[in-house]
């Protein structure tokens, strides 16, 4: 684990510094939200943007801001925060620095379940997707852990990563097969599969918001226990930790957070991998701080990625999942090489 190395200014205690850091991160998030609402395919003057919040008149510009850009920006915040917190919890409990809902196959399982729901049952709304996403994510997590436990040394970080990569590849192949057979399914979700925030309205956000809120509250509630678990399971048991219940609570959190994110935005990778490492460098190994910092940093990263996804080939756009992959893939290679050397 990386530890915070910054020296504290005289007269300030560590919790005060971290609290100030949270306030700064909130201000950065608000600035990114303003930029996200400002930039897009259509060029809208800043006065028009401000008017849409003060004296909304249902003009074209106001409708774009209120019904397209603002819901999309809020969705980016929710998905980025959820994915980052899910990754932080997974890394803490498994002691696997490569743990991430995407790398361990959880996101692929959720996405495959949604594709099958559309193909077999004609599911067509995120409120329906979400239950299949929970089911797919949960079953995939069980399979990955079972396969990893069969390897030499049990469910080690390396075995979990290899098993997750294998299951992800298998599910990606099966998903491709279904989409080849069913043109209707492909047309409905091809942009979603690459990880996209496009075409989302406020009603969809309202549908998934309760699950994300429950997952976040539970994550904060077990943050102290996850900190102890991150020191090692033997140490946690020696300190009287009920490790089984902590693992179950973490699994529930990951399913709620990542399942919700995949259901509404598709499989957006690498945020859950990158952000926890950055946060641990800033605040150390205390998950009471890692959880809120991960939520804010994850939201900022996805908002910025989405802004670039809209502007790179404007007036067209690319799925935001491609932008996060461009950022995260080199980071993953670096971490993998570091772990192999260890």
Query: What pLDDT is stored for residue 110 in this prediction?
Result: 86
- Give the other-Cβ count within 10 Å of 116's Cβ: 18
pTM for this structure? Answer: 0.86
Q: What is the pLDDT of residues 215-261, one digit of tens each?
A: 999 999 999 999 998 888 788 888 888 888 888 898 899 889 988 88
Report, as ranges of residue numbers, the positions in the chain whose pLDDT lies below 70: 1-13, 157, 187-188, 190-191, 194, 336, 339-342
Q: Identify which of 185, 141, 188 has the alpha carbon closest to the alpha carbon of residue 167.
A: 141
Query: What pLDDT is stored for residue 212 in this prediction?
Result: 94
Give CATH for domain 78-341.
Answer: 1.10.3470.10
Query: What pLDDT is stored for residue 13 in this prediction?
Result: 62
Query: What pLDDT is stored for residue 73 in this prediction?
Result: 93
- Give the other-Cβ count within 10 Å of 205's Cβ: 18
Q: If phi over 0 gives left and psi between -120 and 50 gives alpha, with beta otherwise, what is residue 4?
A: beta
Neighbouring residues of 192: CB distance < 8 A, sequence distance ≥ 6: 265, 266
Query: What pLDDT is stored for residue 191 in this prediction?
Result: 66
| N-term to C-term CA, the chain | 13
Q: Is 182 exposed, middle or buried (0-12, 13-18, 19+ CB in 10 A)?
A: middle
| Domains in the chain: boundaries | 78-341
Helix (H, G, I), strand (E, B) or coil at 124: coil
**Distance separating alpha carbons of residues 268 and 325, to the nearest angstrom:** 8
Query: What pLDDT is stored for residue 121 in this prediction?
Result: 84
């Amino acid at each position: 684990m990386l530890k915070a190395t910054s020296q504290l200014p005289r007269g300030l205690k560590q919790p005060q510094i971290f609290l100030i850091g949270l306030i700064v991160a909130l201000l950065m998030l608000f600035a990114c939200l303003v930029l996200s609402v400002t930039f897009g395919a259509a060029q809208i003057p800043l006065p028009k943007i401000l008017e849409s919040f003060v004296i909304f008149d249902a003009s074209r510009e106001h409708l774009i801001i209120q019904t397209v850009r603002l819901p999309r920006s809020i969705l980016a915040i929710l998905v980025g925060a959820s994915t980052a917190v899910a990754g932080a919890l997974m890394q803490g409990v498994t002691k696997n620095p490569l743990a991430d809902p995407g790398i361990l196959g959880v996101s692929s399982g959720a996405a495959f379940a949604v594709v099958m729901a559309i193909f077999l049952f004609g599911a067509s709304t995120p409120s329906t997707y979400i239950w299949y996403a929970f089911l797919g994510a949960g079953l995939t997590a069980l399979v990955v852990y079972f396969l990893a436990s069969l390897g030499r040394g049990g469910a080690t970080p390396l075995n979990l990563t290899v098993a997750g990569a294998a299951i992800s590849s298998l599910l990606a192949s099966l998903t491709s097969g279904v989409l080849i057979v069913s043109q209707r399914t492909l047309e409905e979700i091809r942009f979603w599969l690459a990880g996209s925030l496009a075409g989302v309205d406020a009603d969809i956000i309202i549908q998934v918001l309760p699950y994300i809120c429950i997952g976040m509250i539970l994550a904060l509630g077990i943050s102290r226990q996850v900190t102890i678990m991150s020191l090692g399971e033997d140490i946690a048991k020696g300190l009287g930790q009920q490790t089984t219940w902590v693992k179950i609570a973490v699994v529930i959190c990951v399913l709620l957070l990542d399942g919700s994110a995949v259901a509404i935005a598709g499989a957006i990778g690498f945020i859950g991998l990158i952000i926890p490492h950055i946060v641990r460098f800033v605040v150390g190994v205390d998950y009471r701080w890692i959880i809120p910092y991960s939520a804010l940093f994850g939201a900022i990263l996805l908002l910025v990625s989405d802004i670039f996804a809209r502007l790179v080939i404007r007036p067209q756009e690319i799925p935001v999942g491609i932008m996060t992959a461009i950022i995260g893939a080199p980071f993953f290679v670096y971490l993998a090489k570091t772990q192999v050397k260890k």
